Amino acid sequence: MQLAKILVVDDEPDLRHLILQKFRGKIKAGEYEFLFAGDGSEALTVIGNNDSINLVLTDINMPIMDGLTLLSKINELNNKLLRSVIVSAYGDMENIRTAMNRGAYDFITKPIDLKDLEITIEKSLKEIEEYKLVLSAQTKLIALQQELDIATVIQTSILPKTFPPFPDRKEFDIYAKMLPAKEVGGDLYDFFLIDKYRLGVVIGDVSGKGIAAALLMAVSKTLLKATALKGIPADNVLSEVNNILVDESPSNMFVTIFYGVLDTRSGAFEYSNGGHNPPYLISVDGKVKQLDNIGGLMIGAMKDVPYESNVVMIQPGESLLFYTDGVTEAFNKNEEEFQETRLSEILFNKNSSTTSDLVQHVFKNIQSFTEGVEQSDDITCLALKYLKH
């Protein structure tokens, strides 16, 4: 048990002897330490020299400075961990009430019942310890919020936010949006020109929350782009990124990544899926289907995992909608999930939509579905439309 320092403020010398005798066991065991002062003024000096005092036990009627004035002075110190117990004559309810209004935690009456005093001290110290736990939890929450704020900055600052990103390119249209949850995860998206004709597109989700997830997201995004710019096949990109992340990331964290390359000359879309949600293809007649789930395991979980790739032909006017599981796992007030079937339904007949309208349409439907329920995960969508070749 942590040492409790108790200041007794009273001008009666006999009280000191009684207290030291009554609590000799706890004093010897190092549980209690008693300090003494003869009046309020002396008590303030003792408190000023001992910032670890937990409890002040003070009489009301004392020379130089009485107990009520002392209570007012203690309040001015704004020490939230310092409690005061007032000692007053039985029946002196007016002073007791004044003392409680000035911040006294409890009171005992004279003549002092030493058993009652023991119970009051124990109760007061227990309340102080409980308040310390509250303050500690509050401090941790503040630190956590600061961490989440930093993670949000890391997460959002590294993602592309300028649209259209390639205003001089007429072969495709692209748009993306992420809505971070309060507990920041690690959603990522990116798009970049590998060469004059090929556009790389990636979406992913890092396991975990907070700064660790945001940092791994940043590393994953940077590493994947650097690897993809070599121009190698999509499955080889995921294989290289996976082997590096296995060595560089914490053992309990991984990333799901969908990576694809659109050849703007032909509409050929080569892709490999590392444990992520396959995107939806919206055809020119408005029909919706999910791409075949071809690829391999999530990235960073196990070394030398084999990955496969696939190629589909995208026709002019067709769109791909990439998303993270924050979309399909959004909950409403009945704890129902948005689910892939609902996502597929709202994409039906959206073949004429721009990529911006398509993404906003998804977010609007999620908002309507959840009806203000606090989101538990990042929500990210990316739409790519092939316009012509």
pLDDT of residue 317 exceeding 70 = yes
pLDDT at res. 82: 81
One-letter amino acid identity for 171?
Answer: E
Return the DSSP state at 292: P
Which segment, 155-164, 241-250, 363-372, is predicted with the most confidence on average?
363-372
- Using DSSP's 3-state secondary structure scheme, residue 133 falls into helix
Mean pLDDT of 143-171: 80
CA distances from 146 to 11, 143, 211 (A): 49, 5, 10
Exposure of 385 by Cβ count < 10 A (0-12 exposed, 13-18 middle, 19+ buried)?
buried
Nearest to 178 by CA among 169, 187, 167, 165: 187
Cβ-based neighbours of 135, under 8 Å, separated by 6 or more:
80, 81
Pairwise CA distance, residues 350 & 176, whole Å: 16
pLDDT at res. 90: 60
pLDDT at res. 183: 61
**Segment among 210-214, 317-321, 375-379 with least mean pLDDT:** 210-214
Q: Are 107 and 88 in contact (CB under 8 A)?
A: yes
Please state, as a whole number, how many other Cβ atoms lie within 10 Å of the Cβ of residue 265: 11
Q: How many residues does the chain have?
A: 389
Kindly indicate the confidence band of residue 86, based on its pLDDT and cuts at 50, 70 and 90.
confident
pLDDT at res. 144: 59
Structure tokens at 175: 């748009």
**Segment among 143-147, 233-237, 339-343 with least mean pLDDT:** 143-147
Pairwise CA distance, residues 57 & 323, whole Å: 63
What phi and psi values does residue 66 have, to the nearest 5 degrees?
-80, 175
pLDDT of residue 185 exceeding 90 = no
Does residue 250 or residue 345 have the better pLDDT? 345
% of the chain beyond a pLDDT of 90? 49
CATH code for the part of the protein at 158-386: 3.60.40.10
Q: Would you say domain 4-136 falls under CATH 3.40.50.2300?
A: yes
Q: Are 290 and 278 in contact (CB under 8 A)?
A: yes
Pairwise CA distance, residues 346 & 131, whole Å: 51
Kindly indicate the confidence band of residue 389, based on its pLDDT and cuts at 50, 70 and 90.
low
Does residue 39 or residue 341 have the better pLDDT? 341
pLDDT of residue 133 exceeding 80 = no
Question: For residue range 271-307, what is the model confidence (pLDDT) as tens digits?
Answer: 999 999 999 999 999 999 999 999 999 999 999 999 9
> Which residue's entry shows tokens 């748009």?
175
Structure tokens at 33: 């330490």
pLDDT at res. 182: 66
Question: For residue range 216-273, what is the model confidence (pLDDT) as tens digits?
Answer: 888 899 999 999 999 999 999 999 999 999 987 776 789 999 999 999 999 999 999 9
pLDDT of residue 91 exceeding 80 = no
Q: How does the average pLDDT of the chain come out, rounded?
A: 88
Q: Are 255 and 298 in contact (CB under 8 A)?
A: yes
> Which residue's entry shows tokens 């009280």?
15
One-letter amino acid identity for 380?
Answer: T
pLDDT at res. 321: 98
Sequence ranges of the chain with CATH classification 3.60.40.10: 158-386
Q: Are 234 and 272 in contact (CB under 8 A)?
A: yes
The pTM (predicted TM-score) of the whole model is 0.65
Q: How far apart are the first and last CA of the chain?
A: 77
pLDDT of residue 143 exceeding 80 = no
Exposure of 383 by Cβ count < 10 A (0-12 exposed, 13-18 middle, 19+ buried)?
buried
Mean pLDDT of 306-333: 96
Return the DSSP state at 338: -
Mean pLDDT of 58-83: 82
Sequence ranges of the chain with CATH classification 3.40.50.2300: 4-136
Question: For residue range 7-49, what is the model confidence (pLDDT) as tens digits?
Answer: 988 888 888 888 888 888 988 888 888 989 888 888 888 888 8
pLDDT of residue 155 exceeding 70 = no
pLDDT at res. 79: 76
User: Exposed e or buried b for every residue in 200-212, given b needs 16+ CB within 10 A?
Assistant: bbbbbbbbbbbbb
% of the chain beyond a pLDDT of 70? 93
pLDDT at res. 68: 84
